Amino acid sequence: MNETALAKSLVAILCDLIAIPSPYPPGESVDICRYAAARLKKAGYKVQVLARKKGVDNVVAKLGKGNPRIVFNAHVDTVGVGDRENWKTDPFKAVVKNGHVFGLGAGNCKGSMAVQLWLAEEIARRGGPRKGEVCFTFVADEENLGPEGMSFLRDKGHVKPDALILGAQTENQMIVSERGVFWARITTKGKAAHAGNPGAGDNAIARMTRLLTAIDANLAPKIDKRIDGPMRSTMNVGMIRGGHNTNVVPASCMVEIDRRLLPKERVKGAYKELEDTLKRAGEPKGSWTCEFLTGTNGFKGSADGMAIAALAAAIKERLGRPARFLNATGVSDGRYFADDGIEIINIGPGSGVAGHAANESVPVAEMVDSAVIQLAAIEKLMGLG
């Protein structure tokens, strides 16, 4: 393989992708999905552009048939530009400098998307998989943590992987385990009154304070003890709103809580644990509510899974050292498949610290490594030609 030509191809694809704006908000993905779909159709894939919500397109491209079914995924949306003054270059015009490609989404996740588009075309150039079906998915709504991307494709049965390989900034190492997450909203009710006579009212913020104190005393210590290797079970109060004027006793207060769960914890059980803690706090019935907002279970992969083993062997061959398994801080679109009993792997070029930041970039050398590693894994899993 001519690696100079490979690097040139990868950079050209990434430059094209950066030049097609796809930030969230608004999350519109029609143009970038049209670009991906056109390349994949030309390569010989059976391609669908699917959407449940107008303007939020997703691409599904398949080649081959039978098992194993290997699904690749990268999200097409990016975060917004943010403060334009912090950018040294045009965020929507890729710049290649000092071995890096700079531009909005270069690392998260258009660098991986470029690698996967090249990989899809290379698989087709080599005659396609000898066994099984390879599928490439390019989806929206990831930055929104929304349901219109990979969640939609899974729910409607458009993808049914045996192994799911997601593009991510891992410096070509692997994330095969991920914590679950759920969000909950607690609302307290009270009675408004003049602040000069607080006894005539019922302070909803004070009630919320008592509930949070109960959580901190009775639930937080249990959560703090839950550890699985580098993963920890956590809870964070991320938002609080209450009252409308300093001289009024507040009649309502709201907080939203983020819970991160070990793979062995289940969302349903963890939410019930929170509810039970609130019920035991002693506040009057009807004076508070707890609402489940969203959530998905975590997953934990085995190092000897077929796809994980193939990627690990390819990493060692390419980089000259054993593959490392990284700890995920956030969550990926793999979470929608957490209960499906499949292999879920996050891998790709770039470092996580470079994503979601001004002057975002991805190293060209890591893109080349990523392409070589993932092609070698596919050759081992499926055979080509």
Which neighbouring-strand residues pair with 318? Answer: none
Element housing 196 (H / E): none
Please, which residues have CB within 8 angstroms of residue 272's CB and are 6 or more apart in sequence?
A: none
Quickly count: other Cβ atoms within 10 Å of residue 178's Cβ. 26
CB 274 within 8 A of CB 259: yes
What burial class does residue 83 get, using C-beta atoms within 10 Å of its C-beta: 0-12 exposed, 13-18 middle, 19+ buried?
exposed
CB 273 within 8 A of CB 202: no
CA 313, distance to chain mean position in Å, is 25
Rounded Cα distance, 366 and 385, in Å: 26
Residues 370, 69, 156, CA angle at the centre, nearest 5°?
110
CB 84 within 8 A of CB 98: no
The phi, psi pair for 81, rounded to 5°, reads -65, -35
Is beta strand 95-97 parallel, antiparallel or unpaired with respect to 100-102? antiparallel
Please, which residues have CB within 8 angstroms of residue 87's CB and are 6 or more apart in sequence?
A: 81, 358, 359
Element housing 201 (H / E): none
Which residue type does 216 have? D
CB 86 within 8 A of CB 163: no
- Look at the pTM and tell me if it is higher than 0.85: yes
Any long-range contacts for 222-225 (C-beta under 8 Å, 24+ apart)? 223/259
Six token digits for residue 130: 């000898």
Dihedral sign for Cα atoms in the order 30, 337, 239, 293? positive
Does 263 sit behind a cis peptide bond, omega within 30 degrees of 0 on the bond before it?
A: no
List, in order of start, the domains of the chain with CATH numbers.
Answer: 3-178+298-382 (3.40.630.10), 180-296 (3.30.70.360)
pLDDT in tens, the chain (385 residues): 799 999 999 999 999 999 999 999 999 999 999 999 999 999 999 999 999 999 999 999 999 999 999 999 999 999 999 999 999 999 999 999 999 999 999 999 999 999 999 999 999 999 999 999 999 999 999 999 899 999 999 999 999 999 999 999 999 999 999 999 999 999 999 999 999 999 999 999 999 999 999 999 999 999 999 999 999 999 999 999 999 999 999 999 999 999 999 999 999 999 999 999 999 999 999 999 999 999 999 999 988 899 999 999 999 999 999 999 999 988 999 999 999 999 999 999 999 877 788 999 999 999 999 999 999 999 999 999 8
Q: What is the DSSP letter of 108?
A: I
Convert 258-296 to b/e letters by CB count within 10 Å (16 or more is b).
Answer: ebbbbbebbbeebbeebeebbeebebeeeebebeeeebb
DSSP string, 239-291: EEEE-S-TTEE-SEEEEEEEEEE-TTS-HHHHHHHHHHHHHTT-PPTTSEEEE
